[in-house]
Amino acid sequence: APIQPPDLTQCQKAALPPGSNPKCCLPVPTKTTDFQFDQSLPMRVRMAAHLVDAAYIAKYNRAYELLRALPADDPRTYLQQAAVHCAFCESAYLQKNTSEKLQIHFSWLFFPWHRWYLYFHERILAKMLNDDTFALPFWNWDNQSVVSPLANLIPAAYIENASLVDNTRNPSHQPPTLVDLTYSGKEGGLDPEKQRAENNNVMHQEVVSGARTPSLFFGQAYRAGDANTPGPGSVERAPHTAIHVWTGGDMGNFATAGKDALFYAHHTNVDRLWNVWKSLGGRRKDISDPDWLSTEFVFYDENATLVKVKVADALSTEKLSYTYQNVDNPWITHSP
Ligand code: C2O
């Protein structure tokens, strides 16, 4: 059977690092509505973060200022948004009617849960700006092309803007240090050319050659009553985790990752890779198992209403009225 949303009145004490909200519990809702596609929304285009213009960055920074200024108990405020990630990654809730802790990482729920999380986060930022065309950017860290030399660095917008910067990041990974998609805590010390080649190898391996089937890409099945963390898919395990650890600080920890605005640009890129992977053909298709398709989650929307969503409604970004700027993915044809 599919996993159901937890009872938000029953928040467990999660074991969290000192200084964080000790429980990362979400506000208890007064009502829950079912998600409906909003056909009146304009198609939003998520742009590469190293390519957006100054006007966009000013607006994006402003959206976070407004988010931070909301009252602390508003489910849309900056810290409450971060708590959403913490809650579903540090097992703040049990799976409904079971004694199993709910954790949406390291399983086939990783891609759809984060897609929904970003969807509502983006809608909340749009609401702050009163601009339905607002779209999050994506951090194009997979792009090693020397023609786009800024893609695989921390994007400037997240360093230069007060509401987008996070001072806990690893100080030695600031630009012009290239991302290391194999990073697990130790400096590789490769020269830039070798680092680019290594990053391309990782991308080709985790999205193309090593992800020929849905289960390799999405991760292991996770159903009602199952113990959590059955096993991650290729992208979650490798480049996704490497970017968290490489960025460091808040980003390096489930409980705090959502506190860094860069988190959302990291995950829009992961989300974009889901679309890229599906476009590669062969057996690279969404999972057809009804337990995956009928899995449900809850999120607070832009009006602070709790909305119940299902995986089946997350499969098409077009249906959710957003798309990604077309960028080259040279690692698709890269041969190690
Ligand atoms: Cu919810 Cu990048 O992890």
Indicate which CATH number applies to the domain containing 276: 1.10.1280.10
Would 26 be classed as within a structural domain? no
- Of the candidates 67, 38, 42, 65, the one whose C-alpha atom is nearest the C-alpha of residue 131 is 42
pLDDT at 13 over 90: no
Confidence class for position 17, pLDDT limits 50, 70, 90: low
Within-domain flag for 5: no
Q: What tens digit of pLDDT does each residue of 236-263 get? A: 999 999 999 999 999 999 889 999 999 9
Residue showing tokens 């000013």? 58
d(CA 191, CA 17): 35
Q: Do 251 and 169 meet the contact criterion of CB atoms below 8 Å apart?
A: yes
pLDDT number for residue 122: 98
Catalytic residue among 35, 50, 85, 217: 85
* Least confident interval from 6-15, 97-106, 147-156, 196-205: 6-15
Local structure of 138: helix, strand or coil: strand
Q: Is residue 105 within 6 Å of ligand 1 at its C-beta? A: yes
* Residue 19 belongs to a domain: no
Query: Is residue 229 in some structural domain?
Result: yes
> Which ligand 1 atom lies nearest to the CA of residue 270?
2
Asked whether residue 6 is domain-assigned, the answer is no
Q: Does ligand 1 have an atom closer than 6 angstroms to the CB of 115?
A: no
Of all residues in the chain, the percent with pLDDT exceeding 90 is 89
Q: Is this prediction's pTM over 0.90?
A: yes
On average, the pLDDT of the chain sits at 94
Residue ranges making up the domain that contains 235: 32-332
Annotation marks residue 173 as catalytic = no
Give pLDDT, residue 314: 98
**Banded pLDDT at 91 (limits 50, 70, 90):** confident
- Annotation says 85 is catalytic: yes
What pLDDT sits at residue 97? 87
Task: Please indicate, yes or no, if residue 27 is contained in any of the structural domains.
Answer: no
Exactly one of 218, 267, 297, 299 is catalytic; name it.
267
Name the maximum alpha-carbon separation found in the chain. Answer: 55
Average pLDDT of the residues in 157-180: 97
Predicted confidence at residue 18, as pLDDT, reads 54
Phi, psi at 17, each rounded to 5°: -65, 155
Does ipTM exceed 0.95? yes
Mean pLDDT of 268-297: 98
pLDDT digits (tens, 9 = 90+) for 288-297: 999 999 999 9
Query: How many CA atoms does the CB half-sphere of 94 hold within 13 Å?
Result: 10
pLDDT of residue 16: 55
266 carries an active-site annotation: no
Roughly how many angstroms between the first and final C-alpha of the chain, as a whole number? 41
Rounded to the nearest angstrom, the distance between the alpha carbon of 254 and the centre of ligand 1 is 7
Kindly state the percentage of the chain with pLDDT values over 70: 96
Residue, of 21 and 107, whose pLDDT is higher: 107
Tens digits of residue pLDDT in 211-243: 999 999 999 999 999 999 999 999 999 999 999
Q: Are 164 and 259 in contact (CB under 8 A)?
A: no
Res 15: pLDDT = 53
Instruction: Give yes or no for residue 20 having a pLDDT over 60.
Output: no
- Atom index in ligand 1 nearest the CA of residue 263 equals 2
Q: Does any domain span residue 16? A: no
Q: Judge contact between 262 and 251, C-beta under 8 A.
A: yes
Provide the strand spans (E) within 189-246.
none
Q: Is residue 186 included in any domain, yes or no?
A: yes
More confident residue, 12 or 308: 308
Number of domains the chain is built from: 1
Counting atoms of ligand 1 from 1, which one is nearest the CA of 89?
Answer: 1
